[in-house]
Amino acid sequence: MTRLGKGLEALISSGPESVDKTTGITTLKIDHIKPNRFQPRKKFKQEKLQELANSLKENGIIQPIIVTKRDESQYELVAGQRRLEAAKLAGFDEIPVIIRSVSLKEQLQFAIIENVQREDLTAIEEAQAYQQLNEEFNLTHAQISEIVGKDRATITNLIRLLKLNDNIQKMILDEKLSPGHARAILQVEDQFHEDFANLIIRNGLSVRKTEMEAKRIKESGLFVKPKAEIHIIPELAEHEKILKNRYKTKVKITDKNNKGRITFYYTDKVELDKLLNKLENE
The DSSP secondary structure of 49-73, one letter per residue, reads: HHHHHHHHHHH---SPEEEEE-SSS
End residue of a domain, out of 122, 148, 174: 148
Q: Given pLDDT bands bounded at 50, 70 and 90, which one contains residue 20?
A: low
**28 shares its domain with 102:** yes
Percent of the chain's residues with pLDDT above 70: 83
**23 shares its domain with 84:** yes
**101 shares its domain with 21:** yes
**214 shares its domain with 260:** no
Structural domain for 177, as ranges: 166-220
The structure's pTM equals 0.54
- Evaluate whether residue 229 is within a structural domain: no
Q: Given pLDDT bands bounded at 50, 70 and 90, which one contains residue 10?
A: very low
The C-alpha atoms of residue 41 and residue 122 are separated, in whole angstroms, by 8
- Evaluate whether residue 158 is within a structural domain: no
The C-alpha atoms of residue 250 and residue 243 are separated, in whole angstroms, by 8
Q: How far is residue 246 CA from its own chain's centroid?
A: 57
**110 shares its domain with 18:** yes
**249 shares its domain with 213:** no
Task: Flag whether pLDDT at 208 surpasses 70.
Answer: yes
- Evaluate whether residue 154 is within a structural domain: no
- Evaluate whether residue 160 is within a structural domain: no
**62 shares its domain with 33:** yes
**238 shares its domain with 209:** no
- Evaluate whether residue 81 is within a structural domain: yes
**251 shares its domain with 209:** no
**15 shares its domain with 138:** yes
**180 shares its domain with 255:** no
- pLDDT of the residue at 229: 45
Task: Flag whether pLDDT at 30 surpasses 60.
Answer: yes
